[in-house]
Structure 1
């Protein structure tokens, strides 16, 4: 299979930038050899998700208001990982910050593109096991609710739409397929 890039970037300019995203507009030659414009949102962080799993088969979900969607969302533990930081280091920090949990073992279960049509947003997700429970240390901008429930129930939340966050759904369904 030919996997060569059929697009040609003729020029690129930054339209907008802040600490979270950059927006650029590229003048391109399309695969059909026509002129076009392609706008891309570049994220300043990648996403990291963690599914903690204790020895009794329980996990933790975080609930919070998601401003862009204007709705409440139940999710696995997630955070933004600066581009220069290793995703595992970020996962260890986020697990402690959001849930007060420390895990002895981490296994990467997903590395995925989140919206490959107009963004470069990526996520890495870990299964965290051998859990020790401590105190959460959320960031001052976070108003988080934390629940502990059987992993099977969290998977059911993903199956029925109670969890609709893409990273969470993908991670929980992957664990179901893996037999957890």
Structure 2
């Protein structure tokens, strides 16, 4: 199937609507790919999303529970956070794992990268698997009221299957690790 190599959208004007240390919202007047005028809103993220799925030698994992303001609901997810765009994502992953769970890992495996909501934002995420875990003291940020739950990976996988975990990076990481288990890679 042929796809265009050039951007078919033409921007006729852009206005910054909102800007803070984490995101920028821009309103665009555009000519869409079919040649008609339209509008588009884009949320630009100033940090990279980072996710870490810890997995110990007995195939237990650690989930972080917290109330998420944006969805007005409680969420179970792997340790996640943001890393500056100019920082090595692995360094950010190590920091997030320690901050949220108190864990340090000896082995790190890249699992995937993903665009988290590409219809309205440029948020980009990188996800790692952390193995060879050692427990230290957690250092959560002041905005985080976290509950840490250690559970068998199979139970976390079942939570994804049953729709009890809806965080996109966590769903992707758990499904990817389940494939690795199925393929005898873990």
Q: Provide Cα deviations, 1:72-108, integer angstroms capped at 9, x if missing partner.
A: 1110110011222121111000000000000111111
What runs of 5+ residues in structure 2 fail to find an aligned partner? none
Between the aligned partners of 2:55 and 2:113, the Cα distance in structure 1 is: 19
Distance in 2, matches of 1:21 and 1:138, equals 21
| Alignment-derived partner of residue 12 in structure 1 | 14
Normalised to the residue count of structure 1, the TM-score between the two structures is: 0.95
In the alignment, which residue of structure 2 is the partner of 1:57? 59
Deviation at 1:2, TM superposition (A): 3.0
Whole-Å Cα distance in 2 between the matches of residues 118 and 140 of structure 1? 28
The gaps in structure 1 that reach 5 residues or longer are none
Query: Which residue of 1 is the match for residue 30 of structure 2?
Result: 28
Partner of 2:152: 150
Distance 2:105 2:123 in 1: 26
State the shift of 1:157 in Å.
0.8
Q: Alpha-carbon deviation of 1:43?
A: 1.1
DSSP 3-state at the match of 2:71? coil
Let me know the Cα RMSD of the aligned residues.
1.2
Choose from 167, 170, 173 the match for 1:168.
170
The number of aligned residues is 180
- 1:40 aligns with one of 42, 62, 67: 42
Q: Partners of 2:146 and 2:33 in 1: how far apart?
A: 45
Aligned to 1:109: 111
Shift of 1:53: 0.8
- Tell me the CA shift for residue 129 of structure 1: 0.8
Distance (Å, rounded) in 1 between the aligned partners of 2:36 and 2:67: 43
Q: Deviations over 1:145-177 (max 9, x none)?
A: 001111111111111111111111111111112
Residues in 2 aligned to 1:73 and 1:152: alpha-carbon distance in whole angstroms: 18
Structure 2 partner of 1:2? 3
| Alignment match of 1:97 (pick from 72, 96, 99) | 99
2: distance between equivalents of 1:62 and 1:128? 15
